[in-house]
Structure 1
Amino acid sequence: MKRNTFIVILIFFIFFVISFLSNILSAITPDLSDGFHLGIGLTGFLPFAFFVAYGVASIPSGILVEKYREKRVLFWAFLLAFAGALLFAVIPTFTVALVSLFIIGVGMAMLQVVINPLLRVAGGEANFAFNSVMAQLFFGGASFLSPMLYTYFVKNVHTSANPNFIISMLNKVVPPDLKWVSLYWAFALISLVMIIIVQVVKFPVVVLKDDERIDTGKSFKELLANKYVWLFFLGIFCYVGTEQGIANWISKFLQIYHKVDPTTLGASVVSYFWGLLTIGCILGLFLLKLFDSRRVLMSFTLGAIVSLLAGLFGPLEIALYAFPAAGFFASVMWSIVVSLALNSVRLHHGTLSGILCTGIAGGAIVPLIIGGLGELFELRFAMLFLLVTLGYLFSIGIWAKPLVNNATVKSWRDLFN
């Protein structure tokens, strides 16, 4: 199969855009909360509005791809992202924020369904594993860089004495008391550029393999009757809930308990959380060549628990390192839980993947639970709820019985073979 390098690079950029639009919410949550005068409970509805869209849209998106093909779904996805971002940029209110985040979330869910099969075809099956890792690096890179752009905008919009062209334009459309809204103008522009690119680019024809198809008929019913499908669905739910439950509340926690400025140091801690999560993925690939994936999952989960507790109850000097460390230990969880799930079921992997992807809604529910508990017990103790989700992830390493274990090397000589 001929490799289409341009399409591969474009897909990498789409991964970058998905992450850029998805994970910036964790950095700007304190400003959203302060700008709209929200309590901790209402603040929890912001990630809820975004991530609940994954639970709603993942399986329908797979059906749309089969009916209308990749190019149309990509176009519609970026059109939704553009509409959601522009809506909030023009009308920056709390109610509109919830609607906007849901619309953008639906667009991101549609993109997630499209791009992996497209990457397999454009890059060639022989290169798919390598390209998938590269895509995750682009994904992580965007999560690392987006809080830095947020800091740049907040420091310069309505502040810079000698604004450049971009800052000058933003000064005209961004309210002085809501400078972080400038990010949504950037999102709208990026989405518009992607709409144009998708419209003019010719994409390869993707023939979905059996393990990429989503069937809502007999196979769907068979999978729902399998207890392990539900258990691994809950695993994905707990992982994304843990990831977003930490990331979305880090900056607010540091603001409340350590008086950290969320636009500068708070944003940097969030940035390093995502950066170490990306670096951890690389180490995880190495460790999975050496050890059983269940043991790696249990070890990294324990590391995440220790890091979380150190961040919550340690002094500022510890918290600044402990929260990013939690991101590092969370890095391997997604890939291990997904691989264990797929290796525990013989057939219908495409439909199973669709079911598992609806578990991304955990990123909606867990931050919302933390917000609700925060109203009752204060944020520090509310975040202890993450011990429940981490405890469940640890348990997977105990009860999972995959049909096929991950391959490990017999000697160091075999490591790179």
Structure 2
Amino acid sequence: MKRNYLIVLLVLVTFFVISFITNLLAPIFPALIQSYSIGLTLAGFFPFAFFIAYGVMSIPAGLLVQSLGEKKVMLIAFSLALFGSVLFVSLPIFAVAMSALFLIGTAMALLQVAINSLLRASGGSKHFTVLSVAAQLMFGGAATLSPLVYSALVKADSQAQSQNWLLQLVPADMTWLSMYLLFALLCTVMLVVISVLPIKHNTQAENPQQGSIKQSLQLFKDPTVIKFFFAIVAYVALEQGVANSISVFLQTYHQLDPNTGGAQIVSQFWLSLTLGCLLGIVLLKLFDAKNVLLTFSVGAVVSLFTALFAHTELALWAFPAVGFFLSIMWSVIFSLALNSVAKGHGTVSGILCTGIVGGAFASPIIGAVSELTGSLQISLLLLLMPLGYIFSVGIWANPLVANHTLKSNPQTAKLAESN
């Protein structure tokens, strides 16, 4: 497939929409507990129902991309997300909420698999690393915006609420449901846009035999693919482990109110992760992606140690710094993985996206170790394990196509473009 910047733009917008709903769970978490009158343990099933869908559905999503193509899979995904959102708003009881969140999570898994392979095909393999960081920038921007939209929507004065038609369609004691109505509208718009855009089934162009299950299953045994799968598990566990622990850590060791000071640092963490993508795009145009990954991994280690053991002022600076150094990791790992295999990129994307399930288990493990040792500082040191594995990727990765830099050889660039 030739480079198609309109499709690249569509993929970037899709990343924004995925992040907007994925990162909504954190700000509405207290409201969920209050609305359903449940404890923290039971409330934990809300994000679990969402993220477990990645573990269950990402590999089947890869097979669907290979057989149906990216466009059809994206249409199926947004249809599922639309249905799940409407179901959530229509019957907001606990059991239905679990099913609705699983459907939405399934839709996000389908989209993640489809758009990553589509981004590589439409933007060119040699530009995939930079485009992936641009997608991460969109993802981070939506993660920052989603809580702000929620806050503005449900915390308006009573007169403004009475005039808001979204709030009029949800129960008065569940105003957070209005966000899922908004997401349903976004899904509807995306369905219309995707329907009218010409998106070619590029996987068939790579290999006519590639769409078969037998051919796809062979990739599941590829040692390179499996190693990158665990790299994705490590990254998501690291990201979620840090983000979900910030407020509790600052409250425990620095006596910061989690609803004010702690929440602000969490917001700065995501903002720093977003801003780091801007520097990442520049660095990836100047240096090999593996070297950038190694450098940012070291920066993350230093920042994490500082956040855990320094005094309050440094800790408040160090947690956002961790987010900054995490910024390019997902994009670089994913692009190195896809550029390390010659075919089956849709299936490989499915295997990699299955690794997102790592985010469902990071916080429970940290919490369990914290209770056993009596120290949250010690339990958070466990995050050095996934961080060390990510560092190792920069050593052993051997992509068939290197990221395009300003120093790239023209002949190498032509070879990369052909892949």
Q: 1:278 aligned to 2:274?
A: yes
- 1:203 is paired with a residue of what secondary structure? coil
**Structure 1 counterpart of 2:383, from 369, 374, 386:** 386
Over residues 72-111 of structure 1, what are the superposed CA-to-partner deviations in whole Å (9 max), with x where a residue is unaligned? 4323212221222233334445544433322111101112
Check 1:166–1:278 CA distance in 2 against 1; reply closer, same or farther (3 A cut): farther
Q: Does 1:322 align with 2:318?
A: yes
Residue aligning to 2:301 = 305
1:57 Cα deviation from its structure 2 partner:
1.6
Are 1:150 and 2:150 matched, yes or no? yes
Partner of 1:205: 200
For residue 357 of structure 2, the aligned residue among 354, 358, 361 is: 361
Q: Indicate the residue corresponding to 2:160 in structure 1.
A: 163
The residue type equivalent to 1:19 in the other structure is S
Distance in 2 of aligned mates of 1:298 and 1:125:
22
Structure 1 residues 164, 226: closer, same or farther in 2, change over 3 A? closer
Structure 1 residue 45: Cα displacement: 3.7
Residues 136 and 327 of structure 2 are in contact (CA less than 8 Å); yes or no, is this contact kept in structure 1? no
Distance 1:276 1:115 in 2: 24
Structure 2 CA distance for aligned equivalents of residues 340 and 2 of structure 1: 21
Alignment-mate amino acid for residue 50 of structure 1:
F
Q: Confirm whether residue 139 of structure 1 aligns to residue 139 of structure 2.
A: yes
1:415 aligned residue = none
1:183 aligns to what?
A: 179
Q: 1:256-295 maps to which residues of 2 (within 5 A)?
A: 258-262=255-259, 266-295=262-291
Of 61-70 and 275-284, more deviation after overlay is shown by: 61-70
**How much has 1:289 moved relative to structure 2?**
4.3
CA gap 1:385/1:25 in 2 versus in 1, 3 angstroms: farther
CA contact (8 A) 2:16 2:138 kept: yes
Q: Say yes or no: does 1:51 pair with 2:51.
A: yes
Percent of residue pairs bearing the same amino acid type: 50
The one-letter amino acid of 1:206's match is H
Deviates more, 1:311-320 or 1:381-390: 311-320
Q: Is the 8 A contact 1:51 1:363 kept in 2?
A: yes
Q: In structure 2, do the counterparts of structure 1 residues 370 and 89 end up closer, same or farther at CA, with 3 Å as the change threshold?
A: farther
Q: 1:131 and 1:336, CA in 2 relative to 1: closer, same or farther beyond 3 A?
A: closer
Contact 1:5 1:122 (C-alpha < 8 Å) held by counterparts: yes
Aligned-pair CA distance for 1:147: 1.7
Q: Does structure 2 conserve the Cα–Cα contact (< 8 Å) formed by 1:148 and 1:268?
A: no
Contact in 1 for aligned 2:126/2:403 (Cα 8 Å) = no
Give the Å deviation of 1:21: 0.9
* Partner deviation per Cα, 1:208-231 (whole Å, 9 max, x = no partner): 24289565324533x444433322
Instruction: Say which of 331, 336, 342 aligns to 2:327.
Output: 331
Q: Could you tell me how far 1:389 is from its partner in structure 2?
A: 1.5
Counterpart of 1:87? 87
Pair 1:172–1:316, CA change in 2 (3 A): farther
Verify the 8 A CA contact 1:29 1:248 in the aligned structure 2: no
Alignment pair present for 1:173 and 2:179: no
Q: What is the rounded CA distance, in whole Å, between the counterparts of 2:313 and 2:306 in structure 1? A: 10
- Give 3-state SS (helix, strand or coil) of 2:155's partner: helix
Task: Name the CA distance, whole Å, in 2 between partners of 1:9 and 1:294.
Answer: 26
Output the CA distance in 2 between the equivalents of 1:362 and 1:137.
21
- Unpaired runs of at least 5, structure 2: 409-419
Question: Unmatched 5+ residue regions in structure 1?
Answer: 412-417
Distance 2:3 2:335 in 1: 26
Distance 1:357 1:214 in 2: 18
The structure-2 alpha-carbon separation of the partners of 1:299 and 1:241, relative to structure 1 and needing over 3 Å to count, comes to same
Shift of the 141–230 alpha-carbon distance from structure 1 to 2, 3 Å rule, reads same
Q: SS state of the match for residue 224, structure 2?
A: helix
CA distance in 1, matches of 2:143, 2:299: 22
Task: Give the aligned residue type for 1:103.
Answer: L
Residues 147 and 267 in structure 1, CA contact (< 8 A), matched pair in contact too: no
Structure 1 position 19 matched with structure 2 position 19: yes
Q: Report SS of the residue matched to 1:79.
A: helix
Aligned equivalents of 2:367, 2:32: Cα separation in 1 = 14
Give the structure 2 partner of residue 341 of structure 1.
337
Normalized against structure 1, the TM-score is what?
0.79
- Conserved in 2, the CA contact under 8 Å of 1:241 and 1:362? yes
Secondary structure of the structure 1 residue equivalent to 2:143: helix
Corresponding residue number in structure 1 for 2:417:
none
CA contact (8 A) 1:55 1:360 kept: yes
Aligned-partner Cα distance in 1 for 2:126–2:227: 32
8 Å contact 1:80–1:104 — kept in the other structure? Answer: yes
Change (3 A) 1:283 1:192: same
Corresponding residue to 2:190 among 191, 194, 201: 194
Q: State the SS of the aligned residue for 2:202.
A: coil
The answer to whether the 8 A contact 1:44-1:367 is kept is: no
C-alpha distance 10-174 of structure 1, shift in aligned 2 (>3 A): farther
Aligned residues: 404
C-alpha RMSD of the superposition: 3.8
Residues in 1 aligned to 2:344 and 2:81: alpha-carbon distance in whole angstroms: 31
CA distance in 2: counterparts of 1:229 and 1:399, whole angstroms: 13
Partners of 2:107 and 2:277 in 1: CA distance = 25
TM-score, normalising length from structure 2?
0.79
Q: Is the 8 A contact 1:27 1:267 kept in 2?
A: no
Residue identity matched to 1:270: V
